[in-house]
Amino acid sequence: MLKEKALHYHKFPKPGKIDIVPTKNCISQSDLSLAYTPGVAEPCREIEKDPQTAYDYTGKGNLVAVITDGTAVLGLGDIGPLAGKPVMEGKALLFKRFADINSYDIEVDQTDPAEFIKIVKALEPTFGGINLEDISSPRCFEIEEKLKEIMDIPVFHDDQHGTAVIGAAAVLNGLEIADKKPENCKVVLTGPGAAGVAIARHLINCGFMEENIFAYDSKGVLYKGRKDLKSPYHSFLFRDTEKRTLIELFENADVFIGTSVKGMVTEEMITRMAPNPVILPMANPDPEIPYETVVKVRPDAMAGTGRSDYPNQVNNVLGFPAIFRGALDVRARKITENMKMAATHALMRVAKMPALKSVLDVYGLKELEFGRNYLIPKPFDPRVLVEVAASVGSAAMEEGVSRISIDIEKYKKDLTERFVHE
């Protein structure tokens, strides 16, 4: 049934999920002379004299590219750029729906990192920001790192940082409920790929001790002396430990985060965790351990998944639209660690706000209150955009990576008037 509905949704009333709509009238000879020749020459001249005026006279400042090579699409793997196009169109749809950001999806038939980097760099004049998507690990680290270095607009690999920003918000709010401090907590992470590595780094920035984060991949524990994983991007996760099994890692763990595969975690493993643990098995569509099992075996847990049909969904739509909204509106040159941290704390705040009636109505709920079953906001809460965008924009200005300064309180008021209708 889902297959038929999904295919029908993508095919009708016209194929795909994205359209292009003009922002100016073109219904008269006068309009035509302004939209194209001769009038269009005037903004061209201004931009030639001062490239920054492109933000004033074109759509660059509200345009993001969603770019992939199709090597790691959802849980489908390396299916190629063309087969990945529906996902990229979906991302563009979410940019527009949740942040009113225009987006083009760009599927690149090039898997060599150096060539891919050249292609994306060459697109810089067109866009206000680059959202990298579904690029396999560890190539994704090299690609993003280099593009951030050579480009003067924000480059953001959402599979890494979107998941990290939102996952960290859930973890930190969960630990607050459990009355635990990040620096005293043990974390177990399965699946240290793009998302897993970024989550670990972000947790360290949030106050977790590096030595208290333990990772496990398809070959086993990441321990010092292991020879088969030579990626420099994983070196910070290698631990001086005698533990070699996943069940050993779970002993007295306060947090579990899964970005791996179905069935990785057992009931016995979570029984070994410390009291009031945060358990986030986020593999899609099937978590590392079923949500029902978690709440049955560990009723004291703060549990979430990557799915929309259970509480505490770690969904990237809570991150990338609002993060880019804030970055674009201050014309940021990059997205920094401080900007990502600001986004995490903004999400934590929204979860503690009284629920909007519109949000309750969307989800068919009578009430929604911060607690074990509500650690992070719902995607349809418009205050996510307001709080995250304002926090990201403010952090960019404070760090000196913005091209312009704005009045943040006025900005929040403007966003509220545009997006919060209640």
Active site residue 36: yes
Q: Taking the mean position of all CA atoms in its chain, how far away is CA 268?
A: 31
Determine the residue type at 346.
A
Which pLDDT value is given to residue 28? 95
Contacts (Cβ under 8 Å, ≥6 apart) of 267: 289, 293, 297
SS3 category, 157: strand
Tokens describing residue 183: 């620096």
- Residue 230 has a pLDDT of 82
Q: Distance between CA atoms of 255 and 348, rounded to whole angstroms?
A: 17
Q: DSSP string spanning 82-120? A: TTTHHHHHHHHHHHHHHH--EEEEEE-----HHHHHHHH
Question: What strand order describes the sheet that includes 302-303?
Answer: 220-221, 213-217, 187-190, 255-258, 278-281, 302-303
CA–CA dist 347, 353 (Å, integer): 10
**In the block, residue with structure tokens 């005293």:** 184
| Residue 357 known to be catalytic | no
| Residue of 3, 5, 9, 91 with catalytic role | 91
Residue 322, exposed/middle/buried by CB under 10 A (0-12, 13-18, 19+)?
A: buried
Looking at the DSSP assignment, which residues form a beta bridge with residue 214? 188
Q: What is the pLDDT of residue 422?
A: 73
Neighbours of 13 (CB within 10 A): 4
User: What's the pLDDT at 385?
Assistant: 98
Q: Give pLDDT, residue 126.
A: 98
pLDDT of residue 295: 96
Catalytic site residue from 9, 11, 17, 36: 36
pLDDT of residue 284: 84
pLDDT of residue 87: 95
What does pTM read for this prediction? Answer: 0.95
pLDDT of the chain, 422 residues: tens digit per residue = 889 999 999 999 999 999 999 999 999 999 999 999 999 999 999 999 999 999 999 999 999 999 999 999 987 889 999 999 999 999 999 999 999 999 999 999 999 999 999 999 999 999 999 999 999 989 999 999 999 999 999 999 999 999 999 999 999 999 999 999 999 999 999 999 999 999 999 999 999 999 999 999 999 999 999 989 888 999 999 999 999 999 999 999 999 999 999 999 999 999 999 999 999 999 988 999 999 999 999 999 999 999 888 999 999 999 999 999 999 999 999 999 999 999 999 999 999 999 999 999 999 999 999 999 999 999 999 999 999 999 999 999 999 999 999 999 999 999 999 999 87
Confidence (pLDDT) at 285: 83
